[in-house]
Amino acid sequence: MVSVPLLALCFSVSLVGTVAGSGNIASWPSAVNVGALFTFDSTIGRAAKLAIELAVEDVNSSPSVLAGTRLNLYAQDTYCSGFFGIIESLQLIEKNVVAIIGPQSSGIAHVVSHVANELHVPLLSFAATDPALSSLEHSYFIRMTQSDYFQMNAIADLVGNYGWREVTAIFTDDDFGRGGIDALGDALAKRHTKISYKAAIPPNANESAIDDLLVRVNFMESRIYVVHVNPDSGLKVFSIAKYRGMMATGYVWITSDWLTSVLDSFGSPNPDTMDLIQGVIALRQHVPDSDVKQSFISRWSDMRRRGNTTSSLNTYALYAYDSVWLVAHAIDQLLKGGQTFNFSDDPKLQDANGSSLHLTAIKNFNTGDNLLHELLLTKFTGLTGQVQFDSDGNLIHPAYDILNIGGTGFRRIGFWSNYSGLSVISPESLYSKRPNTSDGSQQLYSVIWPGETMTTPRGWVFPNSGKSLRIGVPYRTSFTEFVSKDNGPDNVKGYCIDVFKAAVNLLPYPVPLSFILFGNGSKNPSYDELVEKVHENYFDAAVGDISIVTNRTRIVDFTQPYAESGLVIVAPAKEQHSNAWAFLKPFNTTMWCATGAFFLFVGLVVWILEHRLNQDFRGSPKQQIATIFWFSLSTMFFAHRETTVSTLGRFVLIVWMFVVLIINSSYTANLTSILTVQQLSSRIAGIDTLMSGSDPIGYQVGSFSKNYMIEDLNIDESRLVPLNDPDEYARALDLGPRGGGVAAIVDELPYIEVFLSDNCKYITVGQEFTKSGWGFAFPRDSPLALDLSTAILTLSENGDLQRIHDKWLTQSGCTSQDSDTDSNQLSFASFWGLFLICGLACLMALMIFFLKTLCQYRKYSTQAKVGCSESERSVECTSYIKELLSFVDKKEEDVKKFMKSKSSEKQQQNQQDSDGQSMSNKFEI
């Protein structure tokens, strides 16, 4: 048998003596050495070994690449050890290899890449997926497979597609596992999801260690498990999970592509193995279908039948095959360019005295930089599709198949690619279209989940610790309708408690509860401190009349508001009594002025339209002015005696009478309301009055209103007076600011409504100057908050929320709003549409009237000038306007008589002229 050192010597000699810059094939070396570094006896290694050997065989037999030069393969076993990986890589480099196919493991790749960097030998790994290997630190590392960065983004999109918010990561605690899970955490964070627990499995862990880990995992809330482990030990996780009952309904298991590598390597499915993983979702690197791929699969099957391999083909074997071809194409390009492959001694590698390591045998690959550059530029179509690198050194078009394990096999439920996200259409079919990763375009086929159910699991449960949720409840001493201590089994009662219980009862799962009072019982507790306790996980939730305000939402999550709230001002009120001028109050000043102006305007328009036709609208100037005023004002009571005879006048009057009807009705209704409803007023108009003054202001102990007035309204703290209950409210308001009390109280609307239900001598003034609501507080990202929000909406829709409100909170017998008369006055803004219609009707009638009159005047003036001398006509033309006004003032009847008489005279004159002409003709004859 020929020794390995002798073979190395023979092949290294074949690389020496190549002339630089010569592209002549005759001058090419007869052989080039290539190394392979992986774990032979592993799921991936068993398939990769044959794939690499077949690739070398195909390259050496291909006339299209490396014509006259053979690839010599040296394969070294790393035994899945970083230490052996370093040793074996040095042994390969000692053989003057120009590139190394491998390593297979991400952990070994991390350490071997330092050797490659130092000696300038490119590494082409077909299975090291740790995203950290893409950094500039590993400059001679080329990833010939997809980075876990893309795979973890695919898993994150999958988690987001089903609306889950937390996952538990189960991973091997090495560079491969940690790197992938770190990428998963970053990808989930972009989608507002997180890893709630990281369950790290020690490398080479036994079943006992895995069992202990899964027991701890099963106590967590999350039921979404992402498993990212080594293919050779991953099935142990599912075997123990099956034993622990963790493959039942409600659980979700998602694996990276290690599981499909295992299943693909089996060839025919093992029923016992498939029984362990029913309902699992697994990813597999997507390899487009092609003729060369199908041909290679058939070739592989033939070799397996002949006993040349015990492993079936998996995707990593395909990438290993293409890795060899990438090296061959790059070497071919360099040799065609006349490049020389040579090695040199490294002066830093010197054997110490007495050392037998022979470090001087390790050479620097002087052409390594050029080969690395050519490798990254090479493009070709291989078994895995288009082999091409982007600017970051990753293969283009990363994509994954998404598989659902079921029965004795698996079915594809969709694809993922960084071009289109989740899709049921193959990625290569979408590359010709515009990229679309929007939420609306994401889709997958249905999934059969663990437990053989098609209902999407909720994704979380309460921990199996047997403990109840610790619910913090404010120990109120006032307004106990909302929440208070009770001697019953729950220890609390009130409106807020009933709403919470009703919402919990709508959840599709049981929730063990334990209510704990927060406060000393002598005064209302600080609600900010209660929310802080939830943030610190002292309480699992806080239930009560808790306002949803900004500083609280920064540290906890709130449910959907179940009650509207907002700060309002309550102040002492005095009753307003009617006075002698109460009849003017229904309309404001603008409305009165507009109404009066329109009365006169309409009267004037009707006078113009009726003056020439109607005797009622004629007379002396004094009588006509009186008629205008009388007619316009009398229409308010529909008491006008003058009749309208013109069509235009009647049209205007009909429109105006409609407007008057609306105005009268509105006036009567508003005056009735003002005179019959008790009116209250306060000297405080709203929050602006309080801010600009210096009077004391009351607030409820424990409420956020104190901080709001200090921080947002800049009210001096010395002006704020703490009040604890409704009795103190009433006493402080009665005393007033001069008697040691307060001018007003700022509190939330629900409390004020309860307070005013028994105190009718106080009113709220102004409007709510904050808008918020009451909700239940939970720790950040708590899934229970989302489910309870849905339950609260259901309570609102089915009316239960209102029924609970009516049970605990009586309706106020007093008005809770400031009913100052000014707010009830009707303004011009309420009627401008009516006035606009009336005004347009008047203008249209006037326009038609004047056009008709002008036409009539032209006929009249033409007839009036017949028989006048030129001088008379000249005088009349200079007084055209006066004549027109005089015409307008004439009665329509007189004008028509005059025009009729002129017409008769003209006919008689024409007849006389005709007779005279006839007589003249007779005399001439």
Residue pLDDT, tens place only, 503-516: 999 988 888 899 99
Q: Both tokens of residue 610?
A: 């009726």
C-beta atoms surrounding 758 within 10 Å: 12
Distance from CA of residue 713 to its chain's centroid?
Answer: 32
Whole-angstrom Cα distance, residue 697 to residue 746? 7
% of the chain with per-residue pLDDT over 90: 49
Q: What is the DSSP string of 808-852?
A: HSPPPSS--S---HHHH-B-GGGTHHHHHHHHHHHHHHHHHHHHH
Q: Give the pLDDT score at 577.
A: 54
> pLDDT tens, 192-235?
899 999 999 999 899 999 999 999 999 888 999 999 999 988 89
Q: Both tokens of residue 672?
A: 């009735």
Q: Give the pLDDT score at 809.
A: 85
459 phi-psi bin (left φ>0, alpha ψ -120 to 50, beta other): left
Residue 7 pLDDT greater than 70, yes or no: no
Q: Both tokens of residue 37?
A: 């570094």
Q: Look at strands 777-779 and 556-558 and give their pairing.
A: antiparallel
Where does the pLDDT of residue 921 fall: very low under 50, low under 70, confident under 90, or very high at 90 and above? low
Give mean pLDDT, residues 105-110: 93
> pLDDT tens, 586-601?
777 787 788 778 777 8
3-7, 54-58, 186-190, 410-414, range with the lowest pLDDT: 3-7
Residue 14 pLDDT greater than 50, yes or no: no
Q: Which residue has the higher pLDDT, 883 or 287?
A: 287
Distance from CA of residue 535 to its chain's centroid?
Answer: 25
What percent of the chain is helix, strand and coil (3-state, nearest 5)? 50, 15, 35
User: What average pLDDT does the chain have?
Assistant: 83
Give mean pLDDT, residues 441-459: 91
Q: Can you list the domains of the chain with their CATH numbers?
A: 31-143+291-387 (3.40.50.2300), 148-289+398-441 (3.40.50.2300), 469-565+777-809 (3.40.190.10), 582-676 (1.10.287.70), 680-771 (3.40.190.10)
245-249, 290-294, 511-515, 806-810, range with the lowest pLDDT: 806-810
> pLDDT tens, 759-771?
888 888 878 888 8
> pLDDT tens, 19-39?
333 456 667 888 999 999 999
Q: Which residue has the higher pLDDT, 353 or 263?
A: 263
At 509, which helix (H) or strand (E)?
none
Q: Both tokens of residue 147?
A: 């980075």
% of the chain with per-residue pLDDT over 70: 80
Burial 648-662 (b: 16+ CB within 10 A, else e): bbbbbbebbeebbee
Closest by Cα among 545, 537, 575 to 561: 545
Contact predicate 288/322, CB 8 Å: no
Q: Give the pLDDT score at 254.
A: 97
Whole-angstrom Cα distance, residue 137 to residue 904? 120
Whole-angstrom Cα distance, residue 878 to residue 862? 15
- Position of tokens 């939402």? 553
Q: Give the pLDDT score at 699.
A: 93
Q: Both tokens of residue 76?
A: 């070294």
Q: What is the pTM of this model?
A: 0.69
Q: Give the pLDDT score at 850.
A: 76
Q: Give the pLDDT score at 420.
A: 87
Q: Give the pLDDT score at 605.
A: 78
Q: Give the pLDDT score at 777.
A: 96
Q: Give the pLDDT score at 590.
A: 81
Residue 680 pLDDT greater than 80, yes or no: no
Give mean pLDDT, residues 431-435: 83
> pLDDT tens, 159-170?
999 989 899 999
Amino acid at 388: Q
Whole-angstrom Cα distance, residue 609 to residue 604? 9
Residue 471 pLDDT greater than 90, yes or no: yes
Q: Give the pLDDT score at 906.
A: 63
Q: Give the pLDDT score at 760.
A: 80
Q: Both tokens of residue 775?
A: 């909700």
Q: Give the pLDDT score at 269.
A: 79
Q: Is the dihedral of CA 682, 683, 687, 691 positive or negative?
A: negative
Where does the pLDDT of residue 889 fall: very low under 50, low under 70, confident under 90, or very high at 90 and above? low
Q: Give the pLDDT score at 39.
A: 93
Closest by Cα among 175, 183, 176 to 149: 183
Residue 584 pLDDT greater than 70, yes or no: no
Q: Give the pLDDT score at 188.
A: 95
Give mean pLDDT, residues 790-810: 91
Where does the pLDDT of residue 909 fall: very low under 50, low under 70, confident under 90, or very high at 90 and above? low
Q: Give the pLDDT score at 818.
A: 44
As a whole number of Å, the end-to-end CA separation of the chain is: 164
Give the Cα-Cα-Cα angle 460, 464, 469 (nearest 5 degrees).
Answer: 80
> pLDDT tens, 332-363?
999 998 888 888 888 777 766 666 777 777 88
Give mean pLDDT, residues 56-67: 92
Q: Both tokens of residue 303?
A: 């070799």
Residue 868 pLDDT greater than 90, yes or no: no
Q: Which residue has the higher pLDDT, 896 or 176?
A: 176
Whole-angstrom Cα distance, residue 517 to residue 471? 8
Beta pairing partners, 36: 75, 101
Residue 368 pLDDT greater than 60, yes or no: yes
Give mean pLDDT, residues 722-741: 90
Q: Give the pLDDT score at 357.
A: 72
Q: Give the pLDDT score at 148.
A: 95
Q: Which residue has the higher pLDDT, 669 or 379?
A: 379
Q: Give the pLDDT score at 266.
A: 85
222-236, 299-313, 818-832, 834-848, range with the lowest pLDDT: 818-832
Whole-angstrom Cα distance, residue 473 to residue 485? 9
Contact predicate 552/508, CB 8 Å: no
Give mean pLDDT, residues 275-289: 95
Q: Which residue has the higher pLDDT, 15 or 607?
A: 607
Q: Give the pLDDT score at 595.
A: 75
Give mean pLDDT, residues 668-688: 67
Whole-angstrom Cα distance, residue 200 to residue 171? 5
